[in-house]
Amino acid sequence: QKSPAMKFNTLEFLIFFPISLIIGNLLKGTAQRIFLLLASYYFYMAWNKTFIILILISTLLDYAVSLWLEKIPDSEKTKRKLVLTVSMVGNLGFLAFFKYTNFLLEVFQDTGLFSMQSWGAYVSPVGISCGWNSGAAKYICDITLPVGISFYTFQSMSYTIDVYFRKIEARKSFIDFSLYVAFFPQLVAGPIVRATTFLRDLDMRLSVTHEDIQLAFSRILIGFMRKVVFADNLAKVVDMTFANYGSMSPIEIWTGVIAFGWQIYFDFAGYTDIAIGVARLFGFQFDPNFNFPMSTNSIMDHWTKWHISFSTWIRDYIFIPLGGSRAGELRTYRNLFITWFFAGVWHGAAYHFISWGVWQGIMITIQRLFNRTKFSEMLNKKGGMIYDIFCRILTMFCLSFGFAMFRAKTMTDVWAMHKAMLFIDRPFTVDMTYRNMEYGILLFICFTASYIFSKRNLEYMQEKGGMKLVITNTVAILLILFFGITEAQGFLYFDF
């Protein structure tokens, strides 16, 4: 799919952002909110003008449903559930159509439920065409996935669910709610901001002090560095590895797979750094979405620090409503697998994404079981630094199988790469290309630096004195100038 025209790392955004910031801070009250809403719509429409209709429909639906829920007393439980269902069906219906139609057609064909080769071609009034694709030997519909639909759909749905459970009051102002759904910094790739956070800051706009400006621009700069220096450079070895894994040695494949883990981390963390920094300059304080997850010593710890807004979303709106860990061991593990199956489906409409989600559930289940043993208790008490380092390496080893599932195009590719990674179908060899050796060294540096700086974030540097932040910013600027990829590359999570 075509990437959004106004990506953060484009000239268009570098023009749009300061203009929006200046006007947005000069205006006050309702005028300011209307301007930010129109600016956000313009930001999204720079990619595709048509799909703004979907955001408007989703906004109108959840705005009306929330006001309706507010008026229905708790005693009328059935009616309240039916009204909430209207929101769920509407939002998930749009998401399912645009994101999962072709996958469901593939499942039907793979299971033999339907013989679709004889189905005729179809063209809808809005230009969506379906027909038999002889190259893929599948019946496929040509559907463009609206950028950010997974993010703004979940954000809007969480608001309606919170109103249903009386956690928040329904917002009377349509402008306020519309801005919550469409605020441009986090619109297309998160973080998934809760209504309590956004509306709180909207009502009591935070002051933007000199220290806030310094910290926000530092965060934006770090975000650009993560994206254009690390993520975009790592993309070279990642793309090469996943395109040519059949002729590579196991060590080369391991290098490429681990490189992808770091690529998507730097890419996504870079985006959210920019989004959080930009939002702060408008007076909004979004919670961190990453907290050095690549140097953790367990899978469970990794998921408390990676894409935090999403992991807490599935915890609060799927795992806990299913019963969480309150209904016995078997049901707890069942709830874990359902939650992570859903996480896989959310990330993409394909078998390899589902397998990635299931793999996370398997790893978390194994860790929960191991943590209950006396052997685990003994190692945690007496293992010391050696055990801690071993756990960090093992965690990266296990995560890497998931990275292969996430990045590969088909399950056939996944199985082939996993066999090679386990030295099943090709011998162990250290024969590597010079470029992969370079990236292997870079990955070691990334892992070590992430471990060292995991407790030295920007806030820490600012508290310890402005000079530390100045040095960090200077290094970031030099890295961008000397090693940054100048051609704007799309952010990976725009595809989700």
Which one of the listed residues 302, 347, 352, 418 is annotated catalytic?
Answer: 347
Q: Which residue has the higher pLDDT, 341 or 452?
A: 341
What is the chain's length? 496
Alpha carbon distance 208, 211 (integer Å): 8
Q: Quick one: average pLDDT of 296-303? A: 92
Active site residue 347: yes
Radius of gyration of the chain (CA): 24
Residue with tokens 């829920």: 69
On the question of pLDDT at 436 being above 70, the answer is no
What are the φ/ψ torsions at residue 291 (nearest 5 degrees)?
Answer: -140, 65
Residues 426-465: b if buried by 16+ CB within 10 A, e if exposed: eeeeeebeeebeebbebbeebbeebbeeeeeebeebbeee
In this structure, which amino acid lies at residue 140? I
Token pair 């992570």 is found at 340
Token pair 């469409």 is at which residue? 182
12-21 LR contacts (CB < 8 Å, sep 24+): 12/46, 16/42, 16/43, 17/278, 20/184, 21/281, 21/282
Q: What mean pLDDT, rounded, does the chain reach?
A: 86
Q: Kindly tell me if the per-residue pLDDT of 2 is higher than 50.
A: no
The pLDDT value recorded for residue 1 is: 43
With a cut of 80, say whether residue 424 has pLDDT above it.
Answer: yes
- For residue range 10-23, list pLDDT tens digits in order: 888 889 999 999 99
> Over 80: is that where the pLDDT of 115 sits?
no
Tokens 């973080």, located at residue: 191
| CB of 322 closer than 8 Å to CB of 342 | no
The residue among 308, 146, 152, 281 whose CA lies nearest residue 213 is: 281
pLDDT class of 309 with cuts at 50, 70, 90? very high
List helix spans (H) across 165-305.
174-182, 195-203, 210-224, 232-244, 250-281, 299-303
Quick check: helix, strand or coil at residue 205? Answer: coil
- Using CB atoms within 10 A of its CB, is residue 84 exposed (0-12), middle (13-18) or buried (19+)? buried
Q: What is the pLDDT of residues 217-262, one digit of tens each?
A: 988 998 888 888 888 888 888 999 999 998 888 888 998 999 999 9
Give the tokens for residue 281. Answer: 């300059």
Q: Are strands 122-123 and 138-142 parallel, antiparallel or unpaired?
A: unpaired
| Average pLDDT over every residue of 311-318 | 93
- Using the structure block, give the residue that is written with the tokens 């459970």: 165
d(CA 485, CA 481): 9
For 128, which DSSP code?
Answer: -
In the three-class reduction of DSSP (H, G, I as helix; E, B as strand; rest coil), residue 399 is classed as helix
In this predicted structure, which of 65-74, 106-115, 271-280, 368-377 has the lowest mean pLDDT? 106-115
Could you give the C-alpha distances from 262 to 278, 439, 485, in angstroms and in order? 24, 11, 16
Is 135 a residue whose pLDDT tops 80?
A: no
Instruction: Give the pLDDT score at 7.
Output: 79
Q: Is the pLDDT of residue 353 over 90?
A: yes
Find tokens 């906004």 and name the residue.
Answer: 59
CA-angle at 58, arms to 54 and 62, nearest 5°? 175
In whole angstroms, give the CA distance from residue 165 to residue 433: 57
Residue 214 has pLDDT above 70, yes or no: yes
Residue 121: CB partners within 8 Å, gap ≥ 6?
129, 130, 131, 132
Q: Render pLDDT for 169-193 as a digit per residue (tens, 0 to 9).
A: 999 999 999 999 999 998 888 789 9
Helices and strands: H and E segment counts in the chain? 20, 3
Handedness of CA 4, 5, 11, 17 (dihedral sign): negative
